[in-house]
């Protein structure tokens, strides 16, 4: 038996490019490898049983924080009169580069295929990100680890839920700090 959460979302599933984050014994992984390879392009064995779940939470905590701060940075630029598309393009090839600037930009109209450009429909739901952020904070507490940015981001996704955007893509968190409220 292995635990093998995925990263890559619905687009990765459709394209067969998922990343599998595997916890469990090496022999069990080798038995499952052909099945996983048929659905994805990356397989990471991160440790014993349960480690896949922890690694997935770590990844999603980083993603949640990065999305929130990317939206905040773009909102700051827009407030100063910058074009969000040009700002995002600059960030995507500079030190602010991330999945949020290149694939799932939180600002409407910047990336044609991003949920933000479709009214925040599709993608990874904000309520799912809230759940994962909560699980990451709980995991940190269980071992006495400090995740202050994770806690702040969890609170932001909670506020996004309370604002009625829980079913929208998690990039809708940007609406907490824009005039699109």
What's the chain's length in residues? 181
Please tell me the distance from the alpha carbon of residue 59 to that of residue 64, in angstroms, as a whole number: 9
Residue of 41, 56, 85, 131 marked catalytic? 56
Annotation marks residue 181 as catalytic: no
**127 phi and psi, to 5 degrees?**
-65, -35
Residues known to be catalytic: 56
């Amino acid at each position: 038996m292995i635990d093998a959460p995925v990263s890559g979302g619905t687009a990765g599933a459709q394209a067969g490019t998922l990343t599998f984050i595997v916890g469990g014994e090496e022999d069990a992984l080798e038995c499952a490898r052909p099945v996983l390879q048929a659905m994805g392009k990356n397989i990471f064995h991160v440790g014993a049983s349960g480690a896949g779940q922890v690694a997935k939470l770590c990844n999603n905590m980083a993603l949640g924080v990065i999305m929130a701060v990317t939206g905040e940075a773009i909102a700051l630029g827009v407030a100063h009169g910058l074009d969000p598309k040009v700002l995002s393009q600059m960030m995507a090839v500079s030190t602010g580069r991330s999945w949020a600037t290149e694939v799932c930009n939180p600002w409407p109209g910047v990336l044609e295929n991003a949920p933000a450009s479709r009214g925040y429909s599709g993608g990874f739901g904000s309520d799912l990100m809230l759940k994962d952020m909560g699980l990451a904070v709980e995991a940190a507490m269980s071992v006495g680890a400090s995740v202050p940015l994770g806690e702040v981001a969890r609170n932001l996704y909670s506020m996004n839920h309370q604002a009625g955007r829980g079913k929208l893509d998690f990039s809708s968190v940007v609406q907490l700090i824009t005039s699109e409220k």
